[in-house]
Structure 1
Amino acid sequence: MNHLIVFAHPHAESFNHAILNTAVEALQSNGHEVSVRDLNKLGFNPVLTTEDITALREGNIPADIKTEQEFLAKADVVTFIYPIWWTGLPAILKGYVDRVFSYGFAYQYNAEGGIDKLLSGKKGLIVNTYGTPGEIYESIGMNDSLKQTSGDGIFEFSGIEVVDHLLFGGVTSPDANEARANMLDQVKRKFAAL
């Protein structure tokens, strides 16, 4: 299978990078083709401009958007790996969604007034980390909200079937080494099973 990982964390020594490396190793060990789009390393421009909107409406897809759409089109499975910052996506990933999951590529309205999900047939997985202890986010309903906004609001909206959404809380705790090792083991098992 062709697996696309869209990654959004600026620090090479981050726990998110450890998650990325674990996922890639697990997928490659099972013979999957893996493409990683590290948005920070690519210097991806997250700003959807008036010029972008005009070009997209005219069918003149800007080159950087076209490149990312080609990776998405080729993928059987799409994974987003990113930290939760201010209860949402990092700006660079939000901008990726704004620019790449564009009208006419990821979705469109049909003659009946419904929505055609143009990325149907693909599977999706989301992996998030956050510093708040996991039991707090769980108790206040934040985990469900994150699943709804990213899983339903981005993936399902465009037709990507969410197979799982891994949420890892408390990752910045100074005594979280054992917990982080268990999280990486969970990532390894999840991606090895895909």
Structure 2
Amino acid sequence: MHRLLLLLSPLLALTGCINCTPVVLTPAEKVWASVYEAGQQVRFRSNRGASNVLTALPRKEFYENQDCNWMESGKNQPLRTIVALTSAVDHGGGDHQSFSLVVYKTSPTRPATLLFDLAGLLGNLSDVPGGPVFKLLPAPLTLASGRRYPGAYAIRNGANAIYLRGSQLRAAYWDPQAGLLRYELASGEVFDLVE
């Protein structure tokens, strides 16, 4: 029995003494997840006079591979950060009332994955080989107020996003530093951020 333990001790040492590394976002990736503070209210007004208020929920961060199972999951502990805004008006058909962004980082050497679920309008940037093809579409934007956002991106149904059943959104515009700027409904109604 003593010999068996001596033979197995290197393997036991490897499985029990490996430290896993929590993955952290780069400063550029962190900007996407740091737009809103919990409880912050963001107001929108439409081109037809309607209004909507979105309320930021507390940001959530989850690390995967908590048990440091490096043989199956590797030495990294991937990070999933969720930014969510609840909407006073349901534009998503009941099941998708919130506007959310998930920033998912699996490795320090790979860029973070972005997943948008904006009231049922889905867009994601995947780093998984063979995963969904999604590209952030640069879309400089000027709001109805005249304020300009040259670094905004568009998430558009049919171009780089799909919509889930019940969603009324056909497009949304997001700036990494300012968050959700505008969203457009299939009816032609456009909601702009009120600053």
TM-score normalised by length of structure 2: 0.28
More strand by share: 2
**Higher RCO (CA < 8 A, seq sep 6+):** 1
Which structure has more helix as a fraction of its residues?
A: 1
Larger Rg: 2
